[in-house]
């Protein structure tokens, strides 16, 4: 799913999903949900098949919570958490888990931030204590802030030099001109340069609240022990209300959901040996009746070696270096993006071919075999994503933080299996229109 990250990489990396640990047991059968007195949500899944415990702390403090001009603040704050607390230095945080054979990581997404550990079961209390320390007592030392600023600015500039990333960021900016999903998750040179210590502290203290957080414990720890341990470690998490603008965000998102009146094209030049294309269609959030059908559509269109984009444009015509599609799972308004890299001389043919494949899905239902293959592929990937404790813990917490509840994790295969060819055609007609197309080409000679 993702590569394992070192502590240094964790300070730099912005990711959406959790890296797989070594395989352990299959997905658990029972999950309990508890609300602690301070409002913290706790999910516990007991699994005695491995002598390990995975802990995930997910906070609804992703880029979606940023104010205008604050692109990258969520990732910056997350990167500061392992850099030291009132009780531990950065080295002590890393060594606390490493010395017992455990790992610790942080990531930032558009909707959430994530702290994760996996340790031998007997050291679960240590893991919980370290994570609680990070969400309650992060130090934000001025010298560490400047170090992280230099690192982040380097990352931002490197991303600008990578056309495969830049073209997708251009498309996202076109789909979300007035939404925090639009700017780059890593931030911009201007925004990262502008953040003060007060800005970072304010974001941290505003969103790292017990009522805005989910702690997930999976592994060889009884329900009773896990609940008591979490309550003891996280009793000091701040309480309070989220800002009014955040409470109003769902209504604002519905009012300002992307509704392009027609196709939009954004072109840029960059010193590159290829042409890069990102075609993005506004699409609905996870809590929408069309979510599963769009997942299947995405798989049929660009989800792997048997997808239409790959078989037609790469395999049959040989026009692209790479091609795929992605439908992002988000709390707020999402998008489905078609991506391709090709020789500049083939740009027009590839662009027309991608749009033609999208149109075909709206014009005629997919065949029975193609539909079954796509559904089986998604259900199989869902099962494989539960191979290890960390992914099991993450997915429970992720769906909980996205607002559909941890039980949604178990509903996914059933939702996918019920998608019909008519559903796929219907959502294609509904959503595959008026795209934002971003194109990066080499400078004219």
Confidence of residue 445 (pLDDT cuts 50, 70, 90): confident
Mean pLDDT of 210-218: 98
The confidence score (pLDDT) of residue 20 equals 36
CA angle 410, 60, 438 (to 5 degrees): 90
- For the entire predicted model, the pTM comes to 0.91
Compute the distance between CA of residue 60 and CA of residue 80 in angstroms, rounded to an integer.
Answer: 17
Compute the distance between CA of residue 107 and CA of residue 9 in angstroms, rounded to an integer.
Answer: 10
Give ranges for CATH 3.30.830.10 in the chain: 7-249, 264-441
Note the pLDDT tens digit of each residue in 418-433: 999 999 999 999 999 9
Compute the distance between CA of residue 235 and CA of residue 132 in angstroms, rounded to an integer.
Answer: 9
The confidence score (pLDDT) of residue 262 equals 85
Compute the distance between CA of residue 187 and CA of residue 185 in angstroms, rounded to an integer.
Answer: 5
Report whether 222 contacts 75 (CB < 8 A). Answer: no
Note the pLDDT tens digit of each residue in 108-128: 999 999 999 999 999 999 999
Q: Reply yes or no on whether the pLDDT at 189 is more than 70.
A: yes
Mean pLDDT of 137-165: 97
Q: Reply yes or no on whether the pLDDT at 268 is more than 50.
A: yes
Q: Reply yes or no on whether the pLDDT at 158 is more than 80.
A: yes
Compute the distance between CA of residue 249 and CA of residue 344 in angstroms, rounded to an integer.
Answer: 41
**Residue 125, burial from CB neighbour count under 10 angstroms (0-12, 13-18, 19+):** middle
What class is the 7-249 domain?
A: alpha beta
Query: For the domain 264-441, what is the CATH superfamily, name and number?
Result: Metalloenzyme, LuxS/M16 peptidase-like (3.30.830.10)
Pairing assessment for the beta strands 32-35 and 264-269 based on DSSP bridges: unpaired
The confidence score (pLDDT) of residue 315 equals 97
Note the pLDDT tens digit of each residue in 97-109: 999 999 999 999 9
Residue 251 or 39, more confident: 39
Number of neighbouring beta carbons within 10 Å of residue 215: 30
Counted residue by residue, the chain has a size of 445
Confidence of residue 417 (pLDDT cuts 50, 70, 90): very high
Q: Reply yes or no on whether the pLDDT at 28 is more than 70.
A: no
| Cα–Cα distance list, 299 to 309, 360, 439 (Å) | 10, 15, 23
Q: Reply yes or no on whether the pLDDT at 9 is more than 60.
A: no
Note the pLDDT tens digit of each residue in 362-402: 999 999 999 999 999 999 999 999 999 999 999 999 999 99
Residue 273 or 53, more confident: 53
Confidence of residue 18 (pLDDT cuts 50, 70, 90): very low
Give the least confident one: 16-30, 127-141, 248-262, 395-409.
16-30
Among 350, 209, 374, 215, CA closest to 278: 350
- Please report, rounded to a whole number, the percentage of residues in the chain having pLDDT higher than 70: 93
The confidence score (pLDDT) of residue 288 equals 97
Q: Reply yes or no on whether the pLDDT at 138 is more than 90.
A: yes
The confidence score (pLDDT) of residue 29 equals 58
């Amino acid at each position: 799913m993702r590569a394992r990250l070192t502590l240094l990489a964790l300070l730099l990396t912005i990711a959406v999903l959790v890296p797989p640990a070594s395989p352990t047991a299959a997905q658990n059968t029972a999950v309990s949900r508890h609300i602690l007195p301070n409002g913290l949500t706790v999910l516990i899944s007991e699994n005695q098949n491995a002598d390990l415990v995975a802990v995930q702390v997910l906070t609804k403090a992703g880029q979606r919570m940023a104010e205008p001009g604050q692109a990258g603040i969520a990732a910056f704050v997350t990167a500061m958490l392992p850099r030291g607390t009132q009780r531990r230095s950065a080295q002590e945080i890393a060594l606390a888990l490493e010395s017992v054979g455990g790992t610790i990581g942080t990531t930032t997404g558009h909707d959430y931030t994530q702290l994760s550990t996996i340790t031998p079961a007997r050291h679960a209390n240590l893991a919980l204590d370290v994570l609680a320390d990070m969400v309650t007592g992060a130090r934000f030392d001025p010298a560490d802030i400047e170090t992280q600023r230099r690192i982040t600015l380097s990352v931002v500039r490197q991303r600008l030099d990578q056309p495969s990333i830049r073209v997708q960021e251009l498309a996202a900016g076109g789909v979300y001109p007035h939404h925090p999903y639009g700017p780059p998750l890593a931030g911009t040179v201007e925004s990262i340069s502008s953040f003060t210590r007060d800005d970072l502290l304010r974001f941290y203290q505003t969103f790292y609240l017990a009522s805005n957080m989910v702690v997930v414990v999976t592994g060889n720890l009884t329900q009773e022990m896990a609940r008591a341990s979490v309550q003891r470690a996280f009793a000091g998490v701040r309480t309070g209300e989220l800002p009014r603008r955040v409470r109003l965000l769902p209504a604002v998102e519905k009012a300002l959901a992307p509704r392009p009146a027609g196709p939009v094209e954004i072109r840029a030049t960059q010193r590159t040996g290829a042409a890069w294309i990102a075609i993005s269609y506004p699409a609905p959030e996870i809590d929408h009746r069309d979510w599963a059908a769009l997942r299947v559509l995405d798989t049929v269109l660009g989800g792997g070696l048997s997808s239409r984009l790959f078989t037609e444009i790469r395999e049959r015509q040989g026009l692209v270096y790479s091609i795929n599609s992605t439908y992002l799972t988000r709390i707020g308004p999402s998008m489905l993006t078609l991506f391709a890299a090709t020789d500049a001389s083939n740009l027009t043919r590839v662009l027309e071919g991608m749009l033609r494949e999208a149109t075909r899905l709206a014009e005629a239902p997919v065949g029975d075999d193609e539909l079954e293959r796509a559904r089986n592929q998604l259900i199989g990937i869902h099962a494989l994503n539960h191979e290890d404790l960390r992914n099991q813990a993450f997915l429970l917490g992720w769906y909980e933080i996205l607002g559909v509840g941890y039980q949604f994790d178990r509903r996914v295969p059933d939702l996918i299996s019920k998608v019909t060819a008519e559903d796929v055609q219907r959502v294609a007609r509904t959503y595959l229109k008026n795209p934002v197309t971003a194109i990066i080409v080499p400078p004219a000679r």
